[in-house]
Amino acid sequence: MKRLIVCIALLLISATPLPSHPPEADKFTSAAGQEYRQPNPGPTDSYQASPSRPTENRNSSNYYYYYPSAKSEGPPIWFQVVATITVIIFTAGLWLTSIWQWQAIKEQANIAKRVLTELEVPYVSIGEIIPHVFRVEDGRKVLHPNIPITFEFSLKNHGRAVAEIISVHSELRVVGALPPFPEYSGTVEPSGGFPIGPHSDTGKVRWFPIYQCPSDKVEEEFLSLFGGYPKIRLVCFGYINYRDPSKTNWKSGFAWVWYPHSDGVFLVGGSNYNYNRKNEPYAGAV
């Protein structure tokens, strides 16, 4: 559209007619092209007197008249200035538009490349997680405060490439309020490069974080877990270190909270606890 407007403006300027040669210029008389010619008397008979020749006026002067041509009536100066500025502005606009378009195309190419790369990497997180807080006796769930509480979970690769599990860190804690950011402690369990294929899980290979209530707080903590005061929550959280086929290390965090009324677990902690990002090169169980 901008190029069309520029072309129309240039056509308007070039199509402005200039005045033709003024008729007054034809009135210019050149004395060099004029000669004083006397009438040529015809032949006379011998008995007739020859006509007398007129006396030439040698003091006469010749005058040359110059009629200047009319001034060319072109477009006004202000119009030419405005037209020139308009052309410059449109040219600059086209130049900027071309740069922006090139940047947009480059950005789209980078996004497509990044998406394709992300689709071809593994993504490991918790697969199945089962809390073992109650014990089943005679078909009934019974709470044994003196028996350690355990969670059982497997890992699953949601990506499209093979993942190599380097280590897993998990722990069970009883907390009043979940800290804004995870505070990991304890040991990391090396996995010795355990592989997980695309869209696969670890099957029967499971991890079992354990929590043992302090002997002097068993009754207090279990009452608080079931809605007593002060109210506390049982949380299983940790992270997974794994590597993709290009030897890039990744770290995937997780956090699950146990609800006693349904004996189930739900995600907790938001993106501060549940994440997947590139990690520093792995240097052992740290």
pLDDT band at 74 (very low <50, low <70, confident <90, very high): low
Instruction: Give the pLDDT score at 139.
Output: 77
Instruction: Give the pLDDT score at 238.
Output: 95
Give the number of other Cβ atoms within 10 Å of residue 53's Cβ.
8
Is residue 78 over pLDDT 90?
no
pLDDT band at 76 (very low <50, low <70, confident <90, very high): confident
Q: Which residue has the higher pLDDT, 100 or 122?
A: 122
What distance in Å separates the CA atoms of residue 168 and residue 205, rounded to the nearest whole number?
12
Instruction: Give the pLDDT score at 195.
Output: 92
Q: Contact, 220 vs 113, CB < 8 A?
A: no
Q: What is the mean pLDDT of residues 153-159?
A: 93
CATH number for region 124-278: 2.60.40
Instruction: Give the pLDDT score at 182.
Output: 92
Percent of the chain with pLDDT over 90: 26
Q: What is the mean pLDDT of residues 107-117?
A: 66
Residues in the chain: 286
pLDDT band at 120 (very low <50, low <70, confident <90, very high): confident
User: Cβ neighbours of residue 281 under 8 Å, at least 6 residues apart?
Assistant: 249
Q: Which two tokens stand for residue 86?
A: 């308009």
pLDDT digit string (tens) for 172-186? 988 888 899 999 987
Is residue 32 over pLDDT 50?
no
What distance in Å separates the CA atoms of residue 78 and residue 93, rounded to the nearest whole number?
22
Instruction: Give the pLDDT score at 61.
Output: 58
Instruction: Give the pLDDT score at 284.
Output: 41
Q: What is the mean pLDDT of residues 191-210?
A: 88
Q: Which residue has the higher pLDDT, 93 or 51?
A: 93
Q: Contact, 110 vs 40, CB < 8 A?
A: no
Residue 31, judged by CB atoms within 10 A of its CB (0-12, 13-18, 19+), counts as exposed
Mean pLDDT of the chain: 74
Instruction: Give the pLDDT score at 27.
Output: 45
Lowest mean pLDDT among 3-7, 24-28, 183-187, 282-286: 282-286
Instruction: Give the pLDDT score at 167.
Output: 93
Is residue 282 over pLDDT 50?
no
Q: Which of 177, 179, 126, 174 is nearest to 153 (CA)?
A: 126
Kindly list the domain boundaries of the chain, sorted by start residue: 1-10+77-119, 124-278
Is residue 66 over pLDDT 80?
no
Instruction: Give the pLDDT score at 136.
Output: 79
Q: Contact, 165 vs 156, CB < 8 A?
A: no
Lowest mean pLDDT among 47-56, 120-129, 191-200: 47-56
pLDDT digit string (tens) for 218-259? 556 666 666 655 577 889 999 999 999 988 999 999 999 988
Q: What is the mean pLDDT of residues 159-166?
A: 91
Is residue 276 over pLDDT 70?
yes
What pTM was computed for the model? 0.56
| Residue 129 bridge partners (DSSP) | 153
